[in-house]
Amino acid sequence: MPAHSAQPDQSGTPSPQTRRGAAPSTAGVYLSPRMWLLPLLVLLLLGGAGTALYIGGLGSPGNHLKHFPVAVVNQDSGTQTPAGSENLGQNITDEMVKGFSSNDEIDLRVLSWEEAQEQMGKGQIHGAVVIPESFSANATALVSGSLSDTQVTRPDITVYTNPLAGPLASSLATSALDPAVEQANKALGEQLTASAREAQGQAQAELQGELARLGADLPPQLQQQVAPKVDGTSSDLLAEPISVTRDVYNPPPEGAALGMGAFFYSVLLMVVGLSGTVAIHFLVDARLGVAPVELGPRFSLGPPLQPARWKTYLLKWGLVVLGGLPTAGLMMWVASAVGMPIPNGGWFFLTTWLSIVTVSAVTMALITLFGSAGMILSLIYVVFMGLPAASGVVPLEALPGFFTFIARGEPLYQMTMANRAVLYFNADADAGVQSGVIGMLVIMVIAVALAMIFAAVYDRMFGYRALRAAAPA
């Protein structure tokens, strides 16, 4: 690429200064509103839009819950009581379903343990309450145990979280499930306390009957001492009988950034795709003689070839498509070298390369449609709108409706879904690989089609791209 100053190049092409003609006065250029007003407006646009979209989208996830997926698993086999068969685990399940059905914030799924494992293994639910098989037996044993010295086991419930589906999603799942478990604990405590007092009354009545049958005459104080009763410790245990265990289902591996690694990697791919595309745009334009590119104290500008816009788009994007192959391999190698676990290498290479190419197709299409303003629009669409909608920080079910609506059309969302499924969910198609790859391909096809159509229309209506004289200030 030949370097030029203000002198003509060897082909006899006049310098940019010569083409532009007489330069306007220095004072006129610096005082022109075009010099200071437009840059100020651009800065205000980026600052205001970025803050509104990013902070507005991620600031209050708990206030935007809608169909947030969690599960309850009832493995309780029930128990026999004097009143008949009873399944306390089913009672808790029914109460949770009733409580969460009052609004559409939580999507509570009643699943078997196998179904819950499968859905957590695909990132389709963010948490699960598991009631074990012995729950009813242990709970009812507390009643008899409170009236004797018999050793009993507290009924337990395990609350699982799924950080590979998103660390913040696990926190939201805990916040949603904990109140329900506490309510179940309180309700069961009231039930067991009432049963224990009833059993205590029956035991005392039986003692009095037995004493009467034997003709024994014990003072009332002595009768109260020998009669079974619920003491203070037993009363406290009955009031809150459930032992709640919190556990992580499938903890994130070392180097996975606590489950955020796939999102961080996707953001890196977005930056590489966007910034690489902008750099290639300037370099190719300089080579085609459309606009100079500055290299230190000099600038380079090739002979004006007046290329067709659609050919220029394909040339620039084609360079990214080809250059993305070794770039994807290099990024994977470096990521692995610094400790990031990379299973399913073939799939990960595909999603890495496809991510770069998709972002490039969109960015280059916006530049083709809107010129230099397309770079600003790329920041707004790909970055400011894409980051909140990516569901890498806040799950989609906890975002404002606007981001839920645009997410499927955002490259970063599809990239995050595909990369997360490959890294954490064994490249399962239902975990996001299939939808992510298809989503990126659809976005790419739409971007390329729009760029080709508008490029052809622009060429026909306004002629080919060339360096033109600057308008007076």
The distance between the two most distant Cα atoms of the chain, rounded to a whole number of Å, is 132
Question: Of 20-29, 101-110, 284-293, 355-364, which one has max mean pLDDT?
Answer: 355-364
Confidence band of 162 (pLDDT split at 50, 70, 90) = very high
Rounded Cα distance, 413 and 152, in Å: 50
Rounded Cα distance, 407 and 400, in Å: 11
Its pTM stands at 0.84
pLDDT of residue 166: 85
pLDDT of residue 220: 56
Average pLDDT rounded to a whole number, residues 381-385: 95
* Helices 411-424 and 345-370, axial angle in degrees (round to 10): 170
Distances 268 to 265, 279, 302, 466 between C-alpha atoms, Å: 5, 16, 32, 34
pLDDT of residue 295: 81
pLDDT of residue 87: 93
pLDDT of residue 222: 46
**CA angle 449-360-383, nearest 5°?**
110
What's the per-residue H, E or C state across the chain? CCEECCCCCCCCCCCHHHHHCCCCCHHHHHHCHHHHHHHHHHHHHHHHHHHHHHHHHHCCHHHHCCCEEEEEEECCCCEEECCEEECHHHHHHHHHHHHHCCCCCEEEEECCHHHHHHHHCCCCCCEEEEECCCHHHHHHHHHHHHCCCCCCCCCEEEEEECHHHCHHHHHHHHHHHHHHHHHHHHHHHHHHHHHHHHHHHHHHHHHHHHHHHHCCCCCHHHHHHHCCCCCHHHHHHHHCCCEEEEEECCCCCCCCHHHCHHHHHHHHHHHHHHHHHHHHHHHHHHHCCCCCEEECCEEECCCCCCCCHHHHHHHHHHHHHHHHHHHHHHHHHHHHHCCCCCCCHHHHHHHHHHHHHHHHHHHHHHHHHHCCHHHHHHHHHHHHCHHHHCCCCCCHHHCCHHHHHHHHHCHHHHHHHHHHHHHHCCCCHHHCHHHHHHHHHHHHHHHHHHHHHHHHHHHHHHCCCCCCCCCCC
Indicate left, alpha or beta for 123 from its phi (over 0: left) and psi (-120 to 50: alpha).
Answer: left
Q: Is the pLDDT of residue 10 over 50?
A: no
pLDDT of residue 28: 75
pLDDT of residue 127: 95
Structure tokens at 174: 């805990």
Confidence band of 191 (pLDDT split at 50, 70, 90) = confident
Rounded Cα distance, 471 and 24, in Å: 10
Average pLDDT rounded to a whole number, residues 149-157: 80
Average pLDDT rounded to a whole number, residues 239-259: 90
Rounded Cα distance, 278 and 421, in Å: 29
Strand-strand pairing, 127-131 and 68-74: parallel
Structure tokens at 456: 């052809």
Rounded Cα distance, 390 and 65, in Å: 16
pLDDT of residue 42: 87
| Among the listed residues 306, 332, 308, 316, the one whose alpha carbon sits nearest the alpha carbon of residue 279 | 316
| Among the listed residues 347, 280, 283, 310, the one whose alpha carbon sits nearest the alpha carbon of residue 464 | 310
426: Cα separation from own chain's centroid: 18
pLDDT of residue 472: 47
| Among the listed residues 409, 260, 270, 426, the one whose alpha carbon sits nearest the alpha carbon of residue 352 | 270
Rounded Cα distance, 117 and 103, in Å: 26
Q: Is the pLDDT of residue 433 over 70?
A: yes
Rounded Cα distance, 5 and 7, in Å: 5
Structure tokens at 334: 């470096």
Q: Is the pLDDT of residue 19 over 50?
A: no
Structure tokens at 249: 């289902």
Rounded Cα distance, 347 and 425, in Å: 12
Rounded Cα distance, 469 and 457, in Å: 23
| Among the listed residues 441, 445, 455, 303, the one whose alpha carbon sits nearest the alpha carbon of residue 374 | 455
- What is the tens place of the pLDDT at every residue in 61-79? 888 899 999 999 999 998 8
Rounded Cα distance, 319 and 180, in Å: 55
Rounded Cα distance, 375 and 382, in Å: 10
